[in-house]
Amino acid sequence: MSNIKLGITLYCFTAEYARGIFSFEDCVRKAAELGAEGYEIVGTQMLPSYPYVDDEFLGLVEDCSRKYGIRPVSYGANQDRGMIKGRNLTEDEMLLNAITDVKTAHKLGCKIMRAQYLLSPNALKRLAPYAEQYDVKVGIEIHNPETPTTPIVKEYIKAIDESGSKFIGLIPDFGCFATRPNKPHWDDAIKAGAKVEHLELAAKLRYDDVPKEEARKKLIEAGAAGPVFGALEGMYGFVQFRKEADLKGLKDIMPYCIHFHGKFHYLDENNHEASIPYNEILPVINDSDFEGYIVSEYEDHVSGRAVEMTKKHLIMEKNLLGFK
């Protein structure tokens, strides 16, 4: 039986933090007020001394923990292969950056670190001994447009198996299970002058797996205007959707899952996510042996509704999981 805890990634409050409306402490306080059992820090966003963490920030984290009763449980690490002009970083250089990230996660007291796909399967395998040494489990994020059964995910699973380590694994982002178009993108396109029938055609072309350039041609022939093509880019990019969520794939990879990103963009008056079938995803996790966090991850930052939507998201999760 699962042992699921619900947290919040402070990334939810990106706009508020970037605009100076929320300080780091405000973000933690708000997460606690909304009922989070723990929180995630994205290093590039909130660590003044990134990729390292200094004593001043550690003191701030400890002070917030005393005041609000929650601690950082996961660390969002990033990989940037373009740090050196004229070439990409080598695998060895990417690995060294990941080792630094593991050390930072450890200092923050995080037992989980999110790594990104730019860290290759072989580099992830090579990272395992360092993860073990610092007692930090590292998971590769499965982010849309990838799914649990795409080739690169299979390569990561092979690397995890070959390592024999329990300290490397996977972190699925629920966005990869989307079955409907992204509602904020859809609404923005309509506000910008897109016709509903053209958006519906774009969605149908995406559902039918029509190649993007062919879809563009069909939309041009149908007389679609500019805003439709902006929405189309998302449909073929990081907010893709499919006819059915890959629930079998999720069930198959559960033994490798160490953490989850509960991606969401919009919840209606009934606390129903408009694009992602949480009512299908959460039972798969709940019926497994998973022990760990699902952290709410809001990603419609320009809306100004981060607090409202994150509160609704936690309520939805608790209802679906049968939490009191």
Identify the sign of the CA torsion 231, 235, 240, 241: positive
Query: CA 250 to CA 284: how far, in whole Å?
Result: 8
For residue 73, pLDDT beyond 90:
yes
- pLDDT tens digit sequence for 209-242: 999 999 999 999 999 989 999 999 999 999 999 9
Q: What's the token pair of residue 299?
A: 């990603």
**How confident is residue 324, by pLDDT bands cut at 50, 70 and 90?**
confident
Tokens of 15: 């706009």
- Residue 44: its pLDDT value, please? 97
Look up tokens 């449909």; give the residue. 235
pLDDT value at 185 more than 90: yes
Among candidates 255, 249, 240, 311, which has minimal Cα distance to 280?
249
The pLDDT of residue 1 is above 80: no
Residue 52 scores a pLDDT above 90: yes
The average pLDDT across 278-286 equals 98
Mean pLDDT is lowest, of 22-26, 81-85, 179-183, for 81-85
Q: pLDDT by residue (tens digit) across 5-25?
A: 999 999 999 999 999 999 999
Cα-Cα end-to-end distance for the chain: 17
Structure tokens at 247: 């629930």
Q: How confident is the model at residue 254 (pLDDT cuts 50, 70, 90)?
A: very high
Pick the closest to residue 22 from 6, 37, 34 (CA basis). Answer: 34
